[in-house]
Structure 1
Amino acid sequence: MTDDTFNKSVILDLESFLIKYISADGKYKLQNGNTGLSDFDYYDRHEYEDQFGKIWASLKELGLAESTITDIENSDLYKYSPYKTLTKDQEKVLAKILSFLTFCLSENMEETVVVKGGAGTGKTILAVFLLKLLNDLKNKTYEDKEEEESDIKVNRLQSILAERQLKIGFIVPQQSLRKTLKKVFNHMQGIPESLIMTPTEAAIAAKDEPFDLLVCDEAHRLRRRAALSQYPAYDKVNQELNLSKDATELDWIIRSSKMQVLFYDSAQSVRPSDIPKDDFTHVLNSQDNRQILNLTSQLRCLGGDDYIQYVHEVLNYKGFLNGQKPQETDSFVLKEDGNMWLAPHGEFEDYTLKFYDDVDQMMDEIDKLNKKYDLCCAVAGYAWEWITRGEPRDTTKRDINIGKGYLWNRTYTDWINSDRLPYEIGCIHTVQGYDLNYVGVIFGPEIYYDKKAKRIEVDKNKYKDNLGKAVGNDYEALRSYILNIYATLLTRGIHGALVYVCDPDLREYLRPYFKS
């Protein structure tokens, strides 16, 4: 490709563009490494990016590409591609991980690294990028580019990996996301999908020889011995690892590997089987060597960090609204009664936030958005039984008896990419870890507003996830899980969130906080 107007910055940006989109197009398996993809910024970049679109159209005409740019950007192969451009925030964290890994391997030390980041900060992207980079270094397919100015230094690490056959594994606790990432890995040159495993599979694989490194995405979904569907299988792993009966899957990972990198967000713990934050911290504190790194830049939601914080404040996630002193923020105002209250605004630049009094209207709008942009769907709290499970596609039964009546997701794994019906609704377990263009969130009857207590409450009897409500008499724990679920659902959308609330009092309480 030649163009008299292209300078060095444009050429490097075009190269980065082609690597990202050709890898996600799926027609070819790229042999390129994934380093050297920088976040470019130069004069008239927007004008040059328009030229990139024309170049892609020419590649399609030549039969060298199959999908449109829009289709690619909506695909999992693009969203989770190891060829994605890292932000400066991600690149700094990656550089520190590689530095720790190099030092530990050189000195024969063991270390646990925890990468903390909220929803949409790119934890999964960074985890996949790390696995691809290590695989390239291990297989001697990495090529350093002299012209790249990067904090990522890998010469010493590459020598170590070239000399030693390290045993590396990638743990993904969630079944749906695990299936998606295996599909992504299957389209990559030289990196096997067998690298991805469950905590149980990793523990079994490490029985004779421990892993040198285990990377765990969504570590907040690692389980403890509570609210499980299969206790015997869980107990068997603890027994084989010589651990106590109440050991957690985090204990398994530490026992099964010399070094661990855990991507973690305590605010996305949504079931009693998830390891509580305090227990997670306790296990980490028992480690002699541990490092805590932070991802802070918001990548998914165009509402940015302000919207993420606003959602948690509105849902009383940290107890701000019950007469308790909030953290320092401009969002709160002092009322005449002396309490601090959240000031509604509900408008965010480049982000759509809508509130509906009619669930059918919201569902119709989601359907229209899905036809226009793809990857738009409705999700709800687990407040209805799944009576249509196993029913044929054309069943007349309905699970969710509001409005015209709706179905729960007809498949549990990779529902986002399935042939969804317009009257089909997902739950937290089908969308956690995924990006949607627009999300419709239905607050079910299991969550309501208590006018007297001036607090959002939950009704255990109306919460239908049996594993989710197995917290005994700990009401506050159940409330925390359910509020976490809705906070997570409200932050799935890249471009916007549409909201419908079943409980009348909660509807009126939330109405000022969302633009009608």
Structure 2
Amino acid sequence: MERKLPDPIIKKFEYSEKGLNEIKELDENKPNGKLLLRYPTVYVVNDKNQKVKQRNTQYSVYVGETNNIVQRTTQHLHEDPKNRDDWKKLSKSKTAQIYVIAYGHFNKSMTLDIENRFMLYLGSVENVKALYNRRTNSQDQYYPVEEVDEVFNNIWTKLNYKDKHLFPEMKLIRDSALFKASPFHKLTNEQLKAKNQILQKVKDAMDRNETGQLILVEGEAGAGKTVLLSNLFYDLCNPDPIDRKPVEARLLVNHDQQLKIYQNVASKLGLGKGKVDKPTIFINSEKTEDKHVDVILVDEGHLLWTQGKQAYRGENQLKDLQKRARIVILVFDPKQIVRTQQILTSDEISSLESEAHEKDNLITLHNQLRIDADPATINWLDNFIDKGIVGTLPTDSKYDIKVFESPAKLEQAIKAKNKVDIDSGYANGISRIIATFDWKFSSASKPKDEDYWMVKDSASDWKMPWNEQKKAKKRGINKNLSWAERPETIDEVGSIYTIQGSDLNYAGVIIGPSVGYENGKIVYYPEKHANKDAVQRRTLEDGSKKSFAPELIRNELNVLLTRGVHGLYIYAMDPNLRRKLSEVARGK
């Protein structure tokens, strides 16, 4: 017989002296009063922003936990405003409120876990513009840890009834890019071990007058690199004053979509302006190598330039960053390098790994945290991408791979999935169509004979706009959302530049004509690829020129095929590859 958990108790008060007195007046001789006054509680202080005229209410929020709600609220009202501007604003507000939450099985570990869960969700709510917390608190094992999911869901559901703007339905939050990049996710044991190792290295480096130490974090797509980096960045920006000195940290990423997400996270959490940027902007702004920051964290480190470009006049961005920091933490996956200007030869990659390994700074994440599939499905994808082998599709109850005979049918199927996504409140994520960069595109001009640059099927009259051309019906709507999160993008095809670093529920991948099938193997045709950054030859150190196009197209395919969490729909333009995929889909 399933055990029924006790209901959580939630009380709302003004965040003021009046509200504090009402808390004090609770009758601790009654069960609810006793739980609220004498036992551990979690609380949410929130205030509506009255000055900003927006379509939606905006909030500033603080989440806490305590063994004595009267004492803690008194501290927040009387002492904290003396030292912190955020508490000063809350104490002067006429509209601030506090929700106090009690539960019959709360203990210290559980309240810390629930507090951290609130930070994860509230930090991902669009209407929350500022989250004033200063620490992460996820817990490991304790009793009754098995109740946490259900208890938190019950608490959030009750709060949703009280204020749907501050506490929207959970399923609306879970698939946002902000949620996925939040520093408040509970780390896996592998991630936690890596984090502790890195923090110790940072602590040691702060005691020495050295620059340029490299920590290399490797892991394939979906290994949990972004969550680890976000968690590290938040901790470094909010150090424990007992354990560590203040750290000047920067987070850099050479990807527009990811940059937008990180900047949004940093803004909500009050991490300071200018701490999240593109590598080129940071390098150009910190021209003197005499001035160093303590730590630079680089997400998507495989996207750093390894030669000069128009905006970047240097020769190697990583080396330039190392000259400007005590430690550079580089998140790196060589299988996601997609431009000639980002190329590292196998010798150069080995040299990077050796540099990190010599100081015990090489960290590898092995877990697959994105694709929810059986090992046989992961193996099928690995063989397809790494070895060019198109094997028989495995049967997988968790992960759905389908092959389509036309892009129109794939579009229809993904739009059907998207409707289910919408109807379920995006409970499982967002479904979109993406493609290899095999069609012309220019952000600076329009095609002569059409309104949009199009992905076109050579075997039919099907076509679709692509690469972030569709605009919201109302100007300014969804401007802070990533490409996949914007509703209008269901009517266009995404590329490597719009989807890298993001997750999808179902990924509908159109494999363009640059990927074919000959003599039992996948082959690549650079002459059919439209991304000049992938097909132009690279000048090597000895002055010779070399094409890396096949490897870069393969890397692009790797990124596209590993976006779907629950499913992958495929259409191949190349007749031979399409025929082979159809055969393996039928079990031949």
| Same fold (TM > 0.5) | yes
* CA distance 1:10–1:348, change in 2 (3 Å): farther
Matched, 1:52 2:148: no
SS of residue in 2 equivalent to 1:468: helix
CA distance in 1, matches of 2:260, 2:420: 26
- 1:66 is displaced (CA, Å) by 3.9
2:224 is equivalent to residue 122 of structure 1: yes
Q: Is the 8 A contact 2:380 2:391 kept in 1?
A: no
| Structure 1 residue 2: Cα displacement | 2.6
1:31 corresponds to which residue? 132
Cα distance, 1:380 vs structure 2: 0.5
Checking the alignment, whether the CA contact within 8 Å between 1:355 and 1:500 is kept in structure 2 is yes
Flag the structure with larger Rg. Answer: 2
- Residue 2, structure 1, aligned to residue 73, structure 2: no
Return the match for 1:312 from 382, 386, 398.
Answer: 382
Instruction: Please give the TM-score of this superposition, normalised by the length of structure 2.
Output: 0.71
| Equivalent residue letter for 2:522 | I
Structure 2 Cα separation of the partners of residues 48 and 62 of structure 1: 21
What corresponds to 2:348 in structure 1? 279
Per the alignment, residue 112 of structure 1 pairs with: 214
Report the counterpart of residue 488 of structure 2 in structure 1.
Answer: 420
TM superposition shift of 1:371: 2.4
Q: Which ranges of structure 1 fall in alignment gaps of 5 or more residues?
A: 141-154, 239-246, 322-341
For residue 447 of structure 1, what is the aligned residue in structure 2? 515
Cα displacement (A) at 1:515: 7.1
1:173-192 alpha-carbon deviations (Å, 9 max, x no partner)? 11221122111211113x02
Cα distance in 2 for partners of 1:471, 1:42 equals: 59
- In 1, Cα distance between the equivalents of 2:143 and 2:365? 25
Given residue 234 of structure 1, which amino acid in structure 2 is its aligned partner?
A: Y
Q: Match for residue 264 of structure 2?
A: 183
Where 1:213 maps in the other structure, the secondary structure is: strand
Secondary structure of 1:400's partner? strand
Q: Is the 8 A contact 1:34 1:129 kept in 2?
A: no
Q: Check the 8 A contact 1:216/1:261 in 2, yes or no.
A: yes
What amino acid sits opposite 1:357 in the alignment?
Answer: E
Q: Say whether residues 1:366 and 2:452 are aligned partners.
A: no
In 1, Cα distance between the equivalents of 2:248 and 2:206?
12
Using the alignment, how far apart are the partners of 1:365 and 1:40 within structure 2?
42
Give the Cα–Cα distance (whole angstroms) in 2 for the partners of residues 272 and 93 of structure 1: 31
Normalising by structure 1, we get a TM-score of 0.80
**Residue aligning to 2:465:** 407
**Per-residue CA distance 1:65-107 (angstroms, 9 max, x = gap):** 2421111011122111111111111110000001111112123
Once the two structures are aligned, what percentage of the paired residues are identical?
A: 25
In structure 2, what is the Cα distance between the partners aligned to 1:437 and 1:344? 23
* Matching residue of 1:339: none
Higher relative contact order, chain-length normalized (CA < 8 Å, sep 6+): 1
Give the Cα–Cα distance (whole angstroms) in 1 for the partners of residues 264 and 501 of structure 2: 15
Residue deviations 1:128-150 (CA, integer Å, cap 9, x gap): 11111111117x5xxxxxxxxxx
CA distance, structure 2, for counterparts of residue 116 and residue 305 of structure 1: 21
Contact 1:34 1:82 in 2 (8 A): no
Q: Would you say 1:95 and 2:164 are equivalent positions?
A: no
Q: Distance in 2 between matches of 1:450 and 1:507?
A: 12
Correspondence 1:81-480 to 2 at 5 A? 81-110=182-211, 111-137=213-239, 140=241, 155-156=242-243, 158=244, 160-161=245-246, 166-189=247-270, 191-208=271-288, 209-225=291-307, 228=309, 230=310, 233-235=311-313, 238=314, 247-276=315-344, 277-283=346-352, 285=354, 289=359, 291-303=361-373, 307-315=377-385, 317-318=386-387, 344-373=392-421, 374=426, 375-386=430-441, 399-402=454-457, 403=460, 404-411=462-469, 414-451=482-519, 454-471=520-537, 477-480=548-551
Q: 1:347 to 1:8 in 2, by over 3 A?
A: farther
**1:501 partnered with 2:572:** yes
Cα–Cα, structure 1 residues 515 and 81, in superposed 2: closer, same or farther, change >3 Å? farther
What is the alpha-carbon distance in structure 2 between the residues aligned to residue 343 and residue 384 of structure 1? 28
Question: What's the counterpart of residue 26 of structure 2?
Answer: none
Deviation at 1:126, TM superposition (A): 1.2
Larger mean CA deviation between 21-30 and 86-95 belongs to: 21-30
Deviation of the 1:468 alpha carbon: 1.5
Structure 1 residue 430 displacement after superposition = 0.8
Aligned residue-pair number: 454
TM-superposed deviation, 1:356: 1.0
Cα distance 1:4–1:419, how it changes in 2: closer, same or farther (>3 A)? closer
Per the alignment, in what secondary structure is the counterpart of residue 194 of structure 1? coil
Q: CA contact under 8 A between 1:382 and 1:427: conserved in structure 2?
A: yes
Equivalent residue in structure 2 for 1:22, among 102, 109, 122:
122
